[in-house]
Amino acid sequence: MKTITFITVALMALILPALAFGASLQWDYPADWAEITGYTIRFTDGTNNYNKTIGKADVVEDGVSVTYADIESNLNLNYDITYDIYIEAYNSKSPGGPSNTVTYTRDSYVPPADSLPPPVGSAPSESSGLSVK
């Protein structure tokens, strides 16, 4: 019976900022990629434990690393909560061992400055198209 052994060194586990898609989870490309069926992402906020099972179609691999994008939305991470995250690979026969753990905190939501309403009592600009009659 063949088991997955790469996972002990697999998660370089940097939470990388993605340009417009939030943070991404990235780990080393496994030597036994052909045998892997998917991954279980395990994470905790210190009180509750969560699991998300993903398949190969859910990640992007380039032969060097594997990336799971937009973890904030895909894992439903709350704002200002610190999570400990690790992964386990699995195949049709057995799960692999856990990777190292990374810590991630989703920043507070701040709307873009151009989407904020004008301060109370300020007059609308001519270009706003807003008028009071």
The per-type count for the chain, helices as H runs and strands as E runs, is 2, 8
Q: What is the pLDDT of residue 18?
A: 36
CATH number of 7-107: 2.60.40.10
Q: What is the pLDDT of residue 17?
A: 39
Phi, psi of 47 (to 5 degrees): -115, -45
Q: What is the pLDDT of residue 80?
A: 93
In tens digits, what is the pLDDT along the chain, a chain of 133 residues?
A: 333 333 332 333 333 433 345 789 999 888 888 899 999 999 999 999 999 999 999 999 998 999 999 999 999 999 999 999 999 999 888 888 889 999 999 988 777 777 666 667 655 555 544 445 4
Smallest CA-to-CA distance from 100 within 16, 32, 6, 35 is with 6
Q: What is the pLDDT of residue 51?
A: 96
Token pair, residue 72, equals 């904030």
Strand 14-18 and strand 22-28: pairing?
antiparallel
Q: What is the pLDDT of residue 109?
A: 78
Q: How much is the pTM?
A: 0.68
Specify whether the CB–CB gap between 15 and 27 falls below 8 A.
no
Q: What is the pLDDT of residue 88?
A: 92
Using CA atoms, how far apart are residues 14 and 106, in angstroms rounded to an integer?
Answer: 14
Q: What is the pLDDT of residue 40?
A: 94
Q: What is the pLDDT of residue 125?
A: 55
Match 């991630």 to its residue by tokens.
104
Specify whether the CB–CB gap between 4 and 94 falls below 8 A.
yes
Using CA atoms, how far apart are residues 79 and 77, in angstroms rounded to an integer?
Answer: 7
